Structure 1
């Protein structure tokens, strides 16, 4: 089976019943060309043209000398990456897939540099978010390829349809929280593994209970990705934790991704600052 994918049409794109049915069955959909070269060029002015965002990056995990490097923020903000998270096409697709109003749960820039980084073991996003007070898995992640993502440079690998097996307990494994390997092994016998290779601007939307991992980037090609997570408004966390409770999301036109000139003002993004106490655990739980 190949990837379930569709092509974005800027003149008019809809989440059709077929797309929704496959998302519910498979747990994901790839949308090719969600962001075009002009979008990516403007995003680049934030990600690489200034240190305003990347200076907030930190290193996580100790897997096989290949730690993961990322910057994470809880509010979208008003810079170009904030326009990405708030634009109508992204929010609209997320609302169709989740079946109702959504809000921005958090975003991050994952930096897998050439020949160095960063292995992520099998996990579910809801494996963490459940601990953060989200009672239902009415959540998804949008993964945007900033660089070309290939098997060689550590693209995502997913277990297709694994969201149908529910939440798996997560354990601390060599410095990362990962899904119980025994349970993953059983699920893998009943699902298909699929490498999600993407071109810059392609996006993967996937259910929060989809099991996924990625290998270290041992290739000479960098693999950076921009990720935003969304939660149903009706699923606001019941405790204060590492990520925000329901906050109304102000949508912006898709054109704002190209037109925004804010490359350095990161005020209001609420960058996550890891400590030994909060790196893997909720903050201020009640």
Structure 2
């Protein structure tokens, strides 16, 4: 099913990102947020990383989408078909993560490219797209994502550890910031940001009184199947679901329980892969 028109695809190819307003309804995103906030397994399994500035960033990550409401979001056609429109190939679920940027304590994310460390997982090409879905409104005050428009055309930038995060080469980031526009991706709950794996992005700390939670679903193309094993999976056919399954499963308390999540959770080892390479 075609999701994006030629103008939207041209915009993504030019800018390295695309914001889709209202991709999920108020009820859908409300059920997703309610599920996540009541998910004790997600909370207990979350990992924290030092942002290098005295604050911690917190997230929960899982490789397999599952059959709960998280999986319905990651597998629904409006998301997956949109990613396939952009990449022009069949995609599979690389992993998903819930960013838990809580009020007053949520730390910053350094400028980075996702492919800056994913390439170490045996991925020869940057043929990956992530979809960040705003569970809470994302504003400048609560540390919304920032992107450098068109930075995906720079190719992969070298990365090293910044605190416990993977950060892009500061010299190249500084020069890129002089030449490219920094865009604050402010979003309402239910909006979605599709972005290229080489797009430089960051976010500031959350100093506001409001949380900024977001679900990020990441996809790789079938033709870019990794040549070695890593903490993220190789190609596995993705079973898409109709869009109405998000609401159906979201309304079903039993099917969106935390029991399913407990079997999905993984440790985020992205930054550790840089340390192991001596980067």
Whether 1:134 and 2:126 are equivalent positions in the alignment is no
Pick from 235, 247, 269: which aligns with 1:246? 235
Query: Which residue matches 2:196?
Result: 207
Give 1:280's match in structure 2, choosing from 251, 266, 272. 272
Give the TM-score taking structure 1 as reference length.
Answer: 0.90
1:55 Cα deviation after fit: 2.3
Tell me, what secondary structure is at the counterpart of 1:53? helix
CA RMSD of aligned residues (A): 2.0
The structural deviation recorded for 1:66 is 1.3
**Which residue is equivalent to 1:111?**
100
Aligned length: 272
Instruction: Name which of 127, 137, 145 aligns with 1:156.
Output: 145
Report the equivalent of 1:7: none
- With normalisation by structure 2, the TM-score equals 0.92
Cα distance per residue 1:33-83 (max 9 Å; x no partner): 000011112213420233133321110124212111000000101110010
Contact 2:2–2:85 (8 Å) recurs in 1: no
1:263 and 2:252 aligned: no
**Corresponding position of 1:38:** 27
Q: Deviations over 1:6-54 (max 9, x none)?
A: xxxxxx9731111111100110100000000111122134202331333
Task: From the two aligned structures, give the one with the greater helix fraction.
Answer: 2
5+ residue gaps, structure 1, are 1-11
Cα distance in 2 for partners of 1:62, 1:94 equals: 30
SS in structure 1 at match of 2:140? coil
Distance 1:178-1:26 versus aligned 2 partners, 3 A rule: same
2:213 to 215, 224, 231: 224
Deviations 1:211-267 (A, max 9, x none): 000000011111110110000011011111121000110000111100012122326
Gap change, CA 1:102 and 1:172, over 3 Å in 2:
same
* Runs of 4+, deviation exceeding 3 Å: 267-270
| Matching residue within 51, 56, 61 for 1:72 | 61
Contact map agreement 1:75 1:268 (CA 8 A) in 2: no
